[in-house]
Amino acid sequence: MLEVRDIHTYIGQFHVLEGVSLSVPKGSITALLGRNGAGKTTTLKTIMGITPPTQGEIVYDGQPIGGLPSFEIAQLGIGFVPEHRAIFRDLTVRENLRLAERNRGDFERKEDLIFNLFPDLKRLIRLRGTNLSGGQQQMLSVARALVPDNRLLLIDEPTEGLAPVIIEQLIEAIRQLSAETTVLLVEQNFLVAQTLAEYYVIVEEGQTVKHGMMADLAEDEETIHRYLGAA
């Protein structure tokens, strides 16, 4: 589905990605792991075309997308759920969802699906983004990526700073989603990543250092300890 080969990215003046390679098999959830500041978020942004790579290849569905403007990348069916719940705070929930439409009527078609996953949002539909709680904002952020027909979702730290109950809800939602969509997930909480993902990729200092099946990683205490520091 997605092949990333040896990408390098600069943010401002800093060389942040120094050779990240990964592949996301169709229909799977792949977790992108690594310590704080390792370059996970930048990897997602680079795939999305927000911080274009200076070198390396990104191939999505057999088509090279490196260097395309990010709206074209999105139009190919890639949805992005950024970290820090970056919803549009001046827009209502409905407007936030409407904005994500790629074709007229997308929202109506997906309405039921979205409100099934996140029943809360239906109730809040008229509220402005500012007035939502953190968890609700995060749900909106995920829901927004579901409005158009996306075949690949890039999700960045969905559980950060959220209460456990909400995290469970979100995990459940992502799990349901993965039936139809491929997911590349950045997650700090190893246990969340472990429960959700089939594959993993570990980045460190802007480079891919390890990848494989999640099941294998779960047993590899040393790797976990070494790269992720989780107990």
Partner 1 sequence: METTISKTTAERPTLAWLRQNRGTLAVLVVLLLLPFIIAIIDGQSISSVLANESGNSKFFQGLLIEIFILGLFALSYDLLLGITGLLSLGHAMFFAVGGYLTGILIKSFGWGLVPTIAAVTVAAIVQALLFAVVLPRVKGLTFALVTLGFASVFHIVVQSREAAPFTGADVGLQGVVIPAFLDPVDQRLRVYFIALLITMVVYFLYQRFVDSPTGRVCIAIRENEDRALMLGYNTFQYKVIVLLISSLTAAFAGMLHTIHQPIVSPNIAGLGYMVIALLIILIGGVGTLSGALIGAAVFRLLDFFIDRWFGEAATFLLGVIYVLLVLFVPFGIVGTWRQHSSQFTHQIEAIIERLRPKKENPE
Partner 2 sequence: MEWLLENRTRLLTLGILIVLFLLAISGMPAEEWVITALRGLALGALTFLVAAGLSIIFGLMDVLNLAHGELFMLGAYMGWTIYVRPDTVIDGATPFLLIASLLVLVPLLTRWVRSLTLPDLVDKIWPWVGLAAGIGLLVFALFQYPLSTWDLENYAQSPISNAIAFETGTFQSPPPAEFEASPVLVIGGVIVGSGLLALAAAGFSARQTTLRQPSPTQMRNIAIVSGGLFALAFVVLAINNPLTEFMLGLGSTPRFFIAMALASVTGALLGWTIEVTMIRPLYDRPIYQIMLTLGLGFIILELVRAVWGRPEFQMPRPAVFAGTGEGCPATSIGDLVQYQCATIEVLGGRVRMYNEVFIIIVGLLVLGAVALLLQRTRLGMIIRAGVQDSEMVEALGINVRQVFSQVFALGVGLAALGGVLAGPSLGLSNGMGARVLLLALIALAVGGLTSFSGAAAGAVLIGLLQQFIIKYGQIGINVPFMAEPFKPSPPLVPASSVLLMVVILLILPQGLFGRKE
Partner 3 sequence: MSDDIILETYNVRKEFGALVAVADVSIRVVRGTLHSIIGPNGAGKTTFFNVVSGYLPATSGRIVYNGQDITQAPMHRRAHVGMGRSFQITNLFPNLTVLENIRLSHQAVGKNSFRLLRSHRRFGEHIDRADAIINRVGLTRYRDLPARTLAHGDQRKLELGMILAADPEMLLLDEPTAGMASDEVPELMALIQEIQAEGSKTVLLVEHNMNVVMNVSDMITVMHHGEVLAEGTPAEISSNETVQQAYLGNLYENLQEASDHA
User: Of these, 36, 71, 103, 105, which contacts partner 3 (CB under 8 A)?
Assistant: 36
Chain centroid offset of residue 62 CA: 20
Class of residue 152 by CB neighbours under 10 A (exposed 0-12, middle 13-18, buried 19+): buried
Residue with tokens 């993993």, as numbered in its chain = 200
Which entry of partner 2, partner 1, partner 3, none binds 179, CB below 5 to 8 A by partner kind? none
* Torsion angles phi and psi, residue 19, rounded to 5: 110, 70
Neighbours of 33 (CB within 10 A): 30
Q: CB of 221: closest distance to partner 2 in angstroms?
A: 37
Window contacting partner 1 (CB under 8 A); options: 82-90, 181-189, 190-198, 202-210? 82-90
For the chain, what is the radius of gyration of the CA atoms? 17
Window contacting partner 1 (CB under 8 A); options: 43-51, 81-89, 171-179, 221-229? 81-89
End-to-end CA distance of the chain: 32
CB 190 within 8 A of CB 224: yes
Residue closer to partner 3, measured from CB, 116 or 130: 130
- The residues that touch partner 2, with contacts defined as CB under 8 A, are 48-50, 67-72, 74-75, 80, 82, 86, 88-91, 95-96, 98-100, 102, 144, 148
- The residues that touch partner 3, with contacts defined as CB under 8 A, are 12-16, 18, 35-39, 130-131, 133-134, 157, 160-164, 167-168, 171-172, 175, 188-189, 191-192, 195, 204-206, 225-227, 229-231
